[in-house]
Amino acid sequence: MNRLAPRHLLASAALLASAAAPLAAETHRVAPGEGGAERLQEALILAEAGDVIELGEGRFTLTDGLSLDVDGVTVRGAGMDKTVLDFTGQQGAGEGLLVTSDNVTLRDFAVENPKGDGIKSKGADNIIYRGIRVEWTGGPKESNGAYGIYPVESTGVLVTQSKVSGASDAGIYVGQSRDITVSENIVSFNVAGIEIENSRNALVTNNIATRNTGGLLVFDLPGLPVMGGGNVILRENVVKDNDTANFAPKGNIVASVRRGTGVLVMANDGVLIENNAFENNPTAHVMVVAYVQPFDDARYNPYARNVIVGPNAFGRGGDDPQLDGKEMLLAAFGGALPPVLWDGIAQGDTGLRIAKGVTGWTLGLKTPGQSLAEAQPGPLMLTPVESWDFPEVGAPAALEARLK
Amino acid sequence: MRFASSLLLLACASLGAGLAQADVIGPPRVNDAVIRGEGFPARLSDFAFFTQARFQMPNAGVHPYALNTPLWSDGAEKLRFIYLPEGTQLAADGEGLLKFPVGAAIIKTFAFGEGEGEDRRLIETRVLLHRADGWVALPYRWNAEQTDAVLALTGGRVDLTTPAGEAISYAIPNKNQCKSCHSKDGQVIPIGPKARNLSAEWLGAMVKQGALDKVPAGGGTLPSWRARKASDPAAPLARAYLDVNCAHCHQPGGGASNSGLDLRWEQADPHAFGIMKRPVAAGRGAGNMDFAIVPGHPEQSILLYRMDSAEPGIAMPELGKSSVDHEGVAAVRRWIAEMK
């Protein structure tokens, strides 16, 4: 029973001999089939730092959430369409897989139909998700779980080459974290494709966000343990056809996202949107707004500050906005709204900046929380800026290197 | 301890000192070596916490205790024990968690069925071992014969009927799930034995036995759930219930810290414990509502909605619950309804 005792003893002997003797990593193979769920959970518990848990090809049927709490473990499947963790019959836990340890790599497997979130990593620094698929196979439904890939309260996050579909909140949600790269993912049929919330130093690049309610969201919200979102770059993403009706359960902040939003920036300090391709986002390709709800949090700044819309390829869009007064607006702007929608709310001189050639319209509001009834819509009359300084951001290079 | 030594004296007197060998006179002592050791003991009996395990008769040094307001687990009856190695004692730390010496253990057995005899079925026993490098939490599952419990690292499920008459698939947590609740800032810690949730009588008796250094100030302040009456004020009962059932995750450094919801007994900020607080990552758990607690409106309060559900993805707590605690829901509902 006590399979690990010898290694534990070896480990302590080694530690006594020299302070940092690395252990020989082991590879544990787990195949689906009879007792697969138990064998998999057992492997996750008994793994030691540096170990690899290899999931065989096929389908694991799970009734309970899995969890990993050992640093430095790699969990690797045979491919996102070959190894499937099937949570259709899940009876307990708030997510499919929970990771609470550092330096973990998750790659090449799928999580299907979890009752809550797909994969959550909390306080798990330097985590990599690569080639992961999280999917609610019944399509977009309010009864689907909230988040597909869900790192939170972590420093060092890389989510890459993964796919999420059907999340009733955000496909890929990074919350209350720092030093983040979200790259080369495909997010579709979620309420929010990718959401960066109360996080700093995030690079969102080379993703495809399509058929969501909103493509890419950058939020900063009050009342959370970690505050002060900003330094976020959205670069070279394809954001198209985000036209799925909002199916988020009400009460969640994303339930307020209008169908047909490409990028939505709410509050935050420092967001750069450049070199993305936008096509057919019927409400707005880019929306920049203050937080409008009342709040009681002295740490919070509801303004969207230092947001820059650089050069982007703006295709057709804004031609079927989910906005009050839609007909009037469309008539006023000649059949389609210009690509950038700003609420007009600026804190001092930190208001929206645009590059040459970027067009938009403004609601002409002045203060966060001001009623939309007081909006004075009109074309965006900003003097384009020639250049800007913006810090380079993203996950530590060591994370990319770990995948080599 | 004193009980055991007096037994020993009696035995010596009657049998004569020459025959007084430990294995003749009484059961083996609790196995300190496996508590402090490195591995995960395969069987509950390896610890020797009980002289008669089936009847949960504590061995020498094993002290039964109860909580004023207990954690609800599908209506399971819980038998709680603290083991203290010979020559050690607990240390009081105000109203908070008692301080445990290294080598101590906390043992909790979950049972269903009536009485203390054959009709009572032991399902699982969870142990917390205080080792030199921290606490270790392990689940043990009772065998069908009820002779011993076996390490269940990966947890398991047991079909049973709750005292409320509901047939459920009862979940035994896996080792990691033990930590999900028993953790603060990534370290495993005990939850239950806080002075405020232990009776003054028990604390006094422990001091008398030498098992606790002093009676802590603020001991026994949580209301007694079992003795509650309909006329009792709603707030202390509800806040005690939420503290015991929810706050191990819903506090800074806990498993649900990112929600910003802090349900600890001592949290005085109404927004922090949920009043007019918007959800952060509730998903469909929000149930189309905007706030955790809306004063006067339990039917608009997410907190109550999630307590009142057994559906994964909605239900709170996420672990250790396969059915709804209707009495707990009633107490929290009354508190919200009476709130101005």
pLDDT recorded at residue B180: 84
Beta carbons of B258 and A143 less than 8 Å apart: no
Residue B257 is encoded by which pair of tokens? 């810290």
Beta carbons of B38 and A44 less than 8 Å apart: no
- Whether chain A has a CB inside 8 Å of the CB on B117: the answer is no
Contact A193, A170 (CB under 8 A): yes
pLDDT recorded at residue A23: 57
What is the average per-residue pLDDT within B35-43?
Answer: 95
Supply the DSSP string of A111-142, one letter for each residue.
EE--SSEEEEEES--SEEEEEEEEE-TT-S-T
Contact A306, A327 (CB under 8 A): no
- Whether chain A has a CB inside 8 Å of the CB on B302: the answer is yes
The span from the CA of B272 to the CA of A183, in Å, is 35
Instruction: Answer whether residue B76 shows pLDDT above 50.
Output: yes
Pick from A45, A90, A142: which is nearest to B175 by CB?
Answer: A45
What is the average per-residue pLDDT within B57-84?
Answer: 96
Pick from B252, B288, B318: which is nearest to A93 by CB?
Answer: B318
pLDDT recorded at residue A3: 41
The span from the CA of A216 to the CA of A223, in Å, is 22
- Whether chain A has a CB inside 8 Å of the CB on B136: the answer is no
CA distance B179 to chain A (A): 9
Pick from B169, B176, B279: which is nearest to A45 by CB?
Answer: B176
Residue at token pair 């302040």: B221
Amino acid of residue A181: T
pLDDT recorded at residue B115: 66
pLDDT in tens, B266-292: 999 999 999 999 988 888 888 889 999
CA distance A94 to chain B (A): 5
Q: Which residues of B touch A68 (CB under 8 A)?
A: 176
Instruction: Answer whether residue B325 shows pLDDT above 80.
Output: yes
The span from the CA of B259 to the CA of A153, in Å, is 11
Contact A352, A276 (CB under 8 A): no
Q: Under DSSP, is residue B74 helix (H, G, I), strand (E, B) or coil? A: coil
B7: pLDDT confidence band, cut at 50, 70 and 90?
A: very low
Indicate the domain borders of chain A. Answer: 27-135, 171-397
The span from the CA of A204 to the CA of B115, in Å, is 60
Q: Between the ranges A14-18, B31-35, B226-230, B316-320, where is the mean pLDDT highest?
A: B31-35
Chain B residue with the nearest C-alpha to that of A87 = B312
- Whether chain B has a CB inside 8 Å of the CB on A63: the answer is yes
Beta carbons of A249 and B283 less than 8 Å apart: yes
- Residue A238 has a CB neighbour count (10 Å cut-off) of 17
Strands B50-52 and A105-112: unpaired
pLDDT in tens, B215-256: 999 999 999 999 999 999 999 999 999 999 999 999 998 989
Pick from B40, B282, B284: which is nearest to A2 by CB?
Answer: B40
pLDDT recorded at residue A248: 92
pLDDT recorded at residue B17: 40
- Whether chain B has a CB inside 8 Å of the CB on A117: the answer is yes
Beta carbons of A90 and B312 less than 8 Å apart: yes
Beta carbons of B174 and A293 less than 8 Å apart: no
Q: Which residues of A touch B270 (CB under 8 A)?
A: none
What is the average per-residue pLDDT within B84-93?
Answer: 96
pLDDT recorded at residue A126: 98
B181: pLDDT confidence band, cut at 50, 70 and 90?
A: confident
- Whether chain A has a CB inside 8 Å of the CB on B59: the answer is no
pLDDT recorded at residue B30: 96
Orientation angle between helical segments B234-246 and B326-338, nearest 10 degrees = 130
Beta carbons of B312 and A94 less than 8 Å apart: yes
Nearest one of A294, A277, A231, A284 to A257, comparing CA atoms: A284
pLDDT recorded at residue A50: 95
CA distance B205 to chain A (A): 38
Lowest mean pLDDT among A327-341, A372-386, B14-28, B187-201: B14-28
pLDDT tens digits in sequence order for chain A, 404 residues long: 344 444 444 444 444 444 444 457 899 999 999 999 999 999 999 999 999 999 999 999 999 999 999 999 999 999 999 999 999 999 877 899 999 999 999 999 999 999 999 999 999 999 999 999 999 999 999 999 999 999 999 999 999 999 999 999 999 999 999 999 999 999 999 999 999 999 999 999 999 999 999 999 999 999 888 999 999 999 999 999 999 999 998 888 899 999 999 999 999 999 999 999 999 999 999 999 999 998 888 999 999 999 999 999 999 999 999 999 899 999 999 999 999 999 999 999 999 999 999 999 999 999 999 988 899 999 999 999 999 999 999 999 999 999 98
Q: What is the ipTM of this complex?
A: 0.84
pLDDT recorded at residue A264: 98
Pick from B175, B255, B312: which is nearest to A92 by CB?
Answer: B312
Exposed (0-12), middle (13-18) or buried (19+): which is B215, by Cβ within 10 Å?
middle
Q: What percentage of residues in chain B have a pLDDT greater than 70? A: 91
Instruction: Answer whether residue B304 shows pLDDT above 90.
Output: yes
- Whether chain A has a CB inside 8 Å of the CB on B323: the answer is no
Beta carbons of A251 and B282 less than 8 Å apart: yes
Chain B residue with the nearest C-alpha to that of A293 = B278
